[in-house]
Structure formats: structure tokens, C-alpha cells
């Protein structure tokens, strides 16, 4: 009888624990859902904002539906506001800077973590000094340099600035992951006659796909949203990006707020799409680097 009672008690406690666990998970999901909805409110507000005219924006409640959906705001900014040109400039400048930054950071990280050579710690320290340099303090020296080299009002001035300022953080992201890659794979490749260049591009680089995704999305967010360098170095509409192009809809006496909202919505979509597509890779890269490092 005692044994039977003990079994019944164990079963009862087990059921209670499962019930409490389900309640806990349910409460957690409710809280996370509420938090997610709160975080989506600014995006919803911007969408409604972009579909209104000035009168509706100032007279209606912030989350009130517009009298009609003014999709012409998007057509207006795309055709009349040269947003198509700014969007294309943002895309190719961002992609060019990301490719060079991630490749250069990968090469640097490979050299300081997988190879033995003099001054490797010193070289790494030089790159890390970039963390201590404020962006605003470099505007005048960079503008003077680009003026003397004929690169003002040229996309290359912006791309070079992005690369220089993103290299330290990109290298830092990759350090923990590269430092703990298994050396047995590289040693086996070297024994088979693999050169250093082929070792990096064919073996090491593919092994770091998850941390590369993390570096790409971080660089993309910075480059896509950057304003100061473009506004300082670029004066021609031919090379302006979306962040600077928004100013075209701000006039001395009137401002088309609906058009500004449509421009901001267009500028946000690529970041959202990239983040959704790469979200799993980003989490893997951060987790791998933190655990292994």
C-alpha cells in the first residue's frame, strides 16, 4: 500500500509540474507577444503616417486610419522626388562597402588568429584603436583629404569612410569565432599541399558563414542609415543616398510630411527584409562567438 501511495503521489506531482510548466510557457508567450506588438507600434505608425496628407497628419489621432489610403505618396517620392536614384545609390554603396569591409576584416582576423608572425598583437591593437576615434572628430580632416585627392562629391569618399570605421567592430565580431576554429582541418589541408590563399578562401572562410552573416547585417544597418558622411562629402543629387534625399521634401514654407513618411518606409524595408532572412544566421554567429570565445 505504501508503494502504491508513493507512486500515486509521484504521478500527481509530475502532473502538477507539467501543468505549471505549461502555464509558465503560456505566460511567457503572452508577455513576449505583447512586447513584440509594442515594438511593432512605431512601424505601424510610420505606415499610417506615410498614407496620409498634411491635414490628416496634424488633425487626426496618431494611429487613426487615413480617410483613404494615399499610395500616391509612394509614387510621388519614387518618380518626382528622385528616390529611385537615392535608393539605387544606397544599395550599391552599402553592398560595395560591406563586401570590402567583411573580406578585409576576415583576412586581418585570419592573419592575427591563425598565423604566427611578429607584431601581430601590435597590428591588432592598431585596428582596435579605431574604437576610440569619434566619427565627428574626423569630418574636417577627411573632408580636407578628399578635397586634395579630388574625391569630394564622389561615392568613393563615402565607401572608404564606411570601410575604415566599420573594420574595428567587424574584426571584433570575428575574433572570438576565428580563434577557436579547429586547427586539425587546416593542418590536414597544409599536409595535402594547400597554399595559404586557398586555405583561407576554400576552407576557413566557408567555415565562418554564421559569423559573416552577423558582420554583414551589422555593417548593412550602419551603412544604410548613415547620414553624416554622405551629407558632408556628397553635394550632387546624382550620388546622394536615401538618408540625405529625405531633405528634398522639406521646404522653407511647406513640408510634405506624407512624402517623408513614404521615403522613410521605403528606406526601412530593405533592412527589415535582410534581418528576417538572416536572423537565424545572426543568432548562430553571436552565440558561436560568445560561447567559443
In this prediction, residue 175 carries a pLDDT of: 87
In this prediction, residue 102 carries a pLDDT of: 95
Residue-wise pLDDT for 41-84, tens only, equals 888 888 888 888 888 888 877 778 888 888 888 888 887 777 88
Between 235 and 24, residue with greater pLDDT: 235
Q: How many other β-carbons are positioned within 10 Å of the β-carbon of residue 202?
A: 12
Between 86 and 274, residue with greater pLDDT: 86
Do the Cβ atoms of 163 and 200 come closer than 8 Å? no
CATH code reported for the domain at 80-292: 1.10.3720.10
Choose among 22, 181, 213: nearest CA to 114: 181
Choose among 92, 76, 44: nearest CA to 224: 92
Give the highest mean pLDDT range of 31-35, 163-167, 178-182, 256-260: 163-167
Contact partners, residue 275, CB within 8 Å, separation at least 6: 217, 282
Between 19 and 96, residue with greater pLDDT: 96
> What is the spatial distance between Cα 289 and Cα 285, in angstroms, rounded to a whole number?
6
> What is the spatial distance between Cα 54 and Cα 281, in angstroms, rounded to a whole number?
41
In this prediction, residue 11 carries a pLDDT of: 62
> Residue 167, Cα to own-chain centre: how many angstroms?
14
Q: How confident is the model at residue 274 (pLDDT cuts 50, 70, 90)?
A: confident
> Percent of the chain scored above 90 by pLDDT?
20
Per-residue cell: 108: 586581418
Residue-wise pLDDT for 182-191, tens only, equals 888 777 888 8
Q: How confident is the model at residue 292 (pLDDT cuts 50, 70, 90)?
A: very low
Q: How confident is the model at residue 1 (pLDDT cuts 50, 70, 90)?
A: very low
Give me the mean pLDDT over the 143-167 stretch: 93
Up-side HSE of residue 165: CA atoms within 13 Å toward CB? 22
In this predicted structure, the answer to whether residue 24 has a pLDDT above a threshold of 50 is yes
In this predicted structure, the answer to whether residue 20 has a pLDDT above a threshold of 80 is no
In this prediction, residue 213 carries a pLDDT of: 84
Per-residue cell: 198: 586557398
Average pLDDT, the chain: 83
Residue-wise pLDDT for 75-103, tens only, equals 888 877 778 888 899 999 999 999 999 99
Choose among 225, 247, 224: nearest CA to 235: 247
Between 146 and 8, residue with greater pLDDT: 146
Domain limits of the chain?
A: 2-50, 80-292
Residue-wise pLDDT for 196-214, tens only, equals 888 888 888 888 888 888 8
Between 114 and 282, residue with greater pLDDT: 114
> Percent of the chain scored above 70 by pLDDT?
87
Per-residue cell: 164: 575604415
pTM of the model: 0.80
Amino acid at each position: 500500500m505504501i508503494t502504491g501511495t508513493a507512486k500515486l503521489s509521484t504521478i500527481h506531482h509530475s502532473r502538477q509540474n507539467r501543468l505549471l510548466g505549461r502555464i509558465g510557457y503560456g505566460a511567457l508567450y503572452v508577455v513576449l507577444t505583447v512586447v513584440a506588438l509594442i515594438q511593432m507600434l512605431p512601424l505601424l505608425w510610420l505606415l499610417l503616417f506615410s498614407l496620409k496628407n498634411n491635414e490628416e497628419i496634424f488633425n487626426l489621432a496618431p494611429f487613426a486610419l487615413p480617410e483613404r489610403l494615399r499610395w500616391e505618396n509612394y509614387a510621388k517620392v519614387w518618380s518626382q522626388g528622385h528616390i529611385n536614384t537615392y535608393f539605387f545609390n544606397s544599395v550599391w554603396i552599402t553592398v560595395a562597402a560591406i563586401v570590402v569591409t567583411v573580406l578585409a576584416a576576415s583576412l586581418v582576423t585570419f592573419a592575427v588568429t591563425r598565423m604566427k608572425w611578429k607584431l601581430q598583437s601590435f597590428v591588432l591593437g592598431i585596428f582596435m584603436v579605431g574604437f576610440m576615434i569619434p566619427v565627428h572628430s574626423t569630418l574636417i580632416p577627411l573632408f580636407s583629404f578628399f578635397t586634395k585627392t579630388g574625391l569630394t562629391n564622389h561615392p568613393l569618399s563615402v565607401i572608404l569612410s564606411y570601410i575604415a570605421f566599420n573594420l574595428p567592430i567587424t574584426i571584433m565580431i570575428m575574433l572570438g569565432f576565428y580563434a577557436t576554429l579547429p586547427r586539425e582541418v587546416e593542418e590536414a589541408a597544409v599536409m595535402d599541399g594547400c597554399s595559404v590563399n586557398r586555405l583561407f578562401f576554400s576552407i576557413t572562410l566557408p567555415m565562418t558563414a554564421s559569423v559573416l552573416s552577423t558582420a554583414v547585417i551589422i555593417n548593412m544597418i550602419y551603412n544604410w542609415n548613415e547620414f553624416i558622411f554622405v551629407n558632408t562629402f556628397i553635394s550632387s543629387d546624382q550620388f546622394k543616398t536615401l538618408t540625405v534625399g529625405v531633405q528634398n521634401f522639406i521646404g522653407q514654407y511647406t513640408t510634405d510630411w506624407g512624402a517623408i513618411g513614404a521615403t522613410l518606409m521605403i528606406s526601412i524595408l530593405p533592412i527589415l527584409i535582410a534581418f528576417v532572412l538572416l536572423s537565424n544566421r545572426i543568432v548562430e554567429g553571436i552565440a558561436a562567438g560568445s560561447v567559443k570565445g
